[in-house]
Structure 1
Amino acid sequence: MNWPDHAIWWHVYPLGFLGKRKLPALADWLDHVLELGCNGLMLGPVFASESHGYDTTDHFRVDPRLGTEDDLVALIDQARSRGVRVMLDGVFNHVGRSYGHREWWIPEGDDYRVFEGHRSLVVLDHANPAVADHVTGVLDYWTERGVDAWRLDAAYAVPRPFWRTVTDRTRAKHPGVWFSGEVIHGDYDAYVSEGGLDTVTQYELWKAIWSSLNDVNPHELAWTLGRHNELLETFAPQTFVGNHDVTRIASRLTEPGHLPHALAVLFTVGGVPSIYAGDERGWQGVKEEREGGDDAIRPEFPPIPDGLGDDGLDIQRLHQLLIGIRRRHPWLVRAQAEVHTLGDGVLAYTLKAQENAVAVALNFGDRRAAAKLPPAAWTHEAGEATINPDGTADLPPLGWTVASTA
């Protein structure tokens, strides 16, 4: 397997996380990243911008609020010396109003085309070859300085041939670079096969996880696992239960006891998982559709991990436990799920690779329930219940279990 198949990302929104500190302060969190079991640092926008980072003014300059180019390179170097890969957020669909190349904007009426009604975000003309040249130059510049991967913001809003052009050009010089496109809806496969991306964000799975748990109805999640299997035939989707754009999973779930269920799915199904900073401590935060509505999900963190205290330490240990299972079974990255029990509030599935297997049984409801899985010599890995050799599992209310044959 190549390196992205082993990646588990810790996702940080620097402009919120750091407060008045600069990028080098993130190096003090690398031990935390590694102790979680992650080996990737996914950074939100770091380039010069007008406000929140997605209204870029200069792709070749680090936002002064975060420091300098030397600061960013120093952080990348420190991360890589610890075996931690670094992903940057490439915002190439739109720019801020004070961006310097208005000849790359698209006239529309008395103004210019904007992104999803946001007047401060002006869309670039991706049919203009100069824009492809510019984006390729940006990718080359920062990849040359040690960046391993790119999150391509609003990838769904950019023509797929544009992505193919810039990713092909970049890979010609940097063959190991990895591209993850933000795709909320649409033809996920096409962004990989036609656009040249390596993966896209799996919003379908994200929604199915919390929605099924809140409804105490696993059918939506079971259906989505089938869809997820189809994607895995082409690529390993980028999976998550939280990011900088959505209500935190601990706030999204109606029943706090469902958090282990959500995490069990995230860390057993195929894909390349990411954890949004703070979720590993069960932090709360609700996204609101208003000016400043992201503030609650993008808070400042303490200068060092010790500042987190003991709050949510049990949830962090649960993350470590489940990531440990993922590390012991690295083949899960491309494993397809087979559902064996789908009933009233109960979902049980297995994932297999040659002679290895992992089984997951989840009780969404508040009454005891039974699940049936294939007979095997199941070894308990996590959760309150065990799976018997005949494949049966007796699950307590809100119970769950993960087992393996290895």
Structure 2
Amino acid sequence: MDFNAVYHRANDNFCYPLDKERLIINIKTGYDVKYVNIVQGDPFKEGILGGGETWTGEILNIPFKKRLKNQIWWTTTLEPQFKRLKYYFELQTEDELWYYFEDGFVSQRQLNMEGRSRQCFVFPWMNPSDIPVVPQWVNDTVWYQIFPDRFYNADASINPSYVLPWRNKGKVSNEEFYGGDLQGIKEKLNYLQELGISGIYLTPINESPSSHKYDTTDYFKIDSHFGSEETFQSLVQEAHQRNIKVMLDGVFNHCGSKFEPWLDVVEKGPDSEYWEWFLIEEWPFDFSKGAARNKQYYSFAFCDQMPKLNTNNPKVRDYFIQVCETWIKKYDVDGIRLDVANELSHTFCKELRKELKKIKPDVYILGEIWHDAMPWLRGDEFDGVMNYPLAESIKDFWIDKSLSKEDFEFMINRCYTGYMQQTNDVLFNLLDSHDTKRLRSEVHSIDEFYQQLATLFIMPGSPCIFYGTEIAMEGGHDPDCRRCMPWEEIEQGIYDESIEILKQLICLRQQEPLLKSRNFHFPNFYENPRVIEISKLGWIDNAVDIIMNCSEEEISIEEEGEILFHRHFSEGILGKNGILIRKDIR
């Protein structure tokens, strides 16, 4: 047996309570393992530990599995009668049987050896307060990310003198301002509602000298070039009347160079009452030589204008918790996205969650993390994270034509075995954002564009599109991805066809519960290695099948079931870059 391929631990995504009754058990093995049993029972079934007890458990087969590139992920759900569990595994290959304990592998002879220790895995207690609980509404939400300065300029009276005329086409920079505002978003709520959007994620709207607002000057003040507090309150109220949630962007890892506490530090140095609000190594600062890169103080990505805040400091934590409490109480926002969340202290994230959930129990706390985020997703910090690993995996399959549908399966399964199932339900799934190249400029054709979007809308989690995706807006890497929304052309009907396609995908996502489900597998029925097949299974005898032809040749498909969505499919033939989504009764 390939012992190196076997892994389990009795915590995190390998062993955790799904709710108050159910415990999820997962284990990785190599492909040489043909079946896995779990031997499980109550730890105190035969008496107290160390009391000379001889513990035996009930043997249950682990039936469900997902394929990873080099391992198999086996999973089962148990309901421990007394909320605790002791267990080990039986692993069977073609010709070997081994028993897997916390301290390693033993043979059948060793298992039955009198007096030999049996160091079982133990989940000691399913404490209700330790069970990761996520806001249920998030899985039903389709998000629309808005970069306010480039969305819609509706109130020219608040435009600064340097605002440029609105641009329907062409590249943009961070140094340019186009006057998009909160009133503009408010006036487009009907447009978003008709599109099928049920959540708006706004990049920062607090006072800042930049167009992107990630260099905050005042966290309690809405930037006057975006509008007033009353305008934002009205925007949230009208969004809620349309069943649209609103999420703000919290930039708490760093501030802007005009933030008053930082100005005080620059002026007074160690004598400033805010000295410990920042991570400073040397003073006075020499900005002419790059103070951050020379490690005089820490900043965001060596940017002198964005000094890093010390979220280990209780005063800093209290300040930003108060900021978030104000956003919820004053504006009734539904979610807060934490920028550069992986650099915030865990202490701050835990305190923030505790206090915000007191005010609004179903508030959505989202972290911007681009890598494995397990340390932040144990139920006491974030509800979810931006699912960039999924975005990169999807993109890679269409860029690298040597990848097969099995590779696609392995990549998708990796993204959904890294966290708890309830966390998977509220991952923030996206294909592009204000930080990346736009999807339309990343793909070779409009058909590939829609295939990737179709993939986004069938995955567990909460899908988000970047403003302009509905018209296949182009844009290079940051900051060119932040182009102006071409409303004049939209109103002329130039983009009606592309808008209608996205409406169909959003509507399908909203109306078909199985598309939101975490229960999926890859049938691999077709021999063509570039034909993706995904089945979303229901509890009754029904399923939604998704077939995408990413090859250079047409494929024949039996016409059965109810067709929910298709592109390049006719008379049983799915053409190149075609999509077929259908509902089957089985």
Shared fold, TM over 0.5: yes
- Greater displacement, 156-165 / 43-52: 156-165
Does the 8 Å CA contact 1:15/1:53 hold for their aligned counterparts?
no
Q: CA deviation at 1:385?
A: 6.4
- Relative to structure 1, the CA distance from residue 387 to residue 226 in structure 2 (aligned partners, 3 Å threshold; closer, same or farther) is farther
Does the 8 Å CA contact 1:363/1:400 hold for their aligned counterparts?
yes
1:380 aligns with 2:563: yes
1:105 aligns with 2:278: yes
**Residue in 1 that maps onto 2:184:** 25
Does the 8 Å CA contact 1:350/1:359 hold for their aligned counterparts?
yes
**Residue in 2 that maps onto 1:243:** 433
Letter in 2 for 1:72: F
- The within-5 A match list for 1:100-179 is 100-102=260-262, 103=274, 104-110=277-283, 111-144=296-329, 145-179=331-365
- Relative to structure 1, the CA distance from residue 158 to residue 336 in structure 2 (aligned partners, 3 Å threshold; closer, same or farther) is farther
Q: Relative to total residues, which structure has the larger helix share, 1 or 2?
A: 1
Q: Deviations over 1:278-314 (max 9, x none)?
A: 0110010001xxxxx40x2112235x68745333322
**Residue in 1 that maps onto 2:392:** 207
Distance in structure 2 (CA, Å) of the matches to 1:143 and 1:3: 17
Does the 8 Å CA contact 1:248/1:283 hold for their aligned counterparts?
yes
- Greater displacement, 70-79 / 188-197: 188-197
1:261 to 421, 428, 451: 451
**Residue in 1 that maps onto 2:203:** 44
- SS of the equivalent of 1:299 reads coil
Letter in 2 for 1:77: Q
- Relative to structure 1, the CA distance from residue 36 to residue 194 in structure 2 (aligned partners, 3 Å threshold; closer, same or farther) is same
- Relative to structure 1, the CA distance from residue 246 to residue 21 in structure 2 (aligned partners, 3 Å threshold; closer, same or farther) is closer
**Residue in 1 that maps onto 2:553:** 367
- Relative to structure 1, the CA distance from residue 20 to residue 387 in structure 2 (aligned partners, 3 Å threshold; closer, same or farther) is closer
- The within-5 A match list for 1:31-110 is 31-51=190-210, 52-102=212-262, 103=274, 104-110=277-283
- Relative to structure 1, the CA distance from residue 353 to residue 39 in structure 2 (aligned partners, 3 Å threshold; closer, same or farther) is same
Does the 8 Å CA contact 1:267/1:273 hold for their aligned counterparts?
yes
1:286 to 470, 476, 492: 476
- Relative to structure 1, the CA distance from residue 319 to residue 131 in structure 2 (aligned partners, 3 Å threshold; closer, same or farther) is same
Q: Deviations over 1:52-73 (max 9, x none)?
A: 2100111100012111211211
1:3 aligns with 2:137: yes
Q: Deviations over 1:106-128 (max 9, x none)?
A: 10344321112222111110110
Letter in 2 for 1:37: G
Task: Please list every run of 5 or more consecutive structure 1 residues that lacks an aligned counterpart in the other structure.
Answer: 288-292
Say which structure, 1 or 2, has more relative contact order (CA 8 Å, 6+ apart).
Answer: 1
Distance in structure 2 (CA, Å) of the matches to 1:323 and 1:44: 22
Letter in 1 for 2:535: T
Task: Please list every run of 5 or more consecutive structure 2 residues that lacks an aligned counterpart in the other structure.
Answer: 1-134, 153-177, 263-273, 284-295
1:317 aligns with 2:317: no
Considering only aligned residues, what root-mean-square deviation do their CA atoms show, in Å? 2.3
- Relative to structure 1, the CA distance from residue 2 to residue 194 in structure 2 (aligned partners, 3 Å threshold; closer, same or farther) is closer
Distance in structure 1 (CA, Å) of the matches to 2:533 and 2:407: 14
Letter in 2 for 1:337: F
Letter in 2 for 1:32: Y
Structure whose CA Rg is larger: 2
**How many residue pairs align between the two structures?**
391
- Of all paired residues, the percent bearing the same amino acid is 24
1:225 aligns with 2:359: no
Does the 8 Å CA contact 1:232/1:270 hold for their aligned counterparts?
no
TM-score between the two structures when normalised by the length of structure 1: 0.90
- SS of the equivalent of 2:247 reads strand
**Residue in 2 that maps onto 1:290:** none
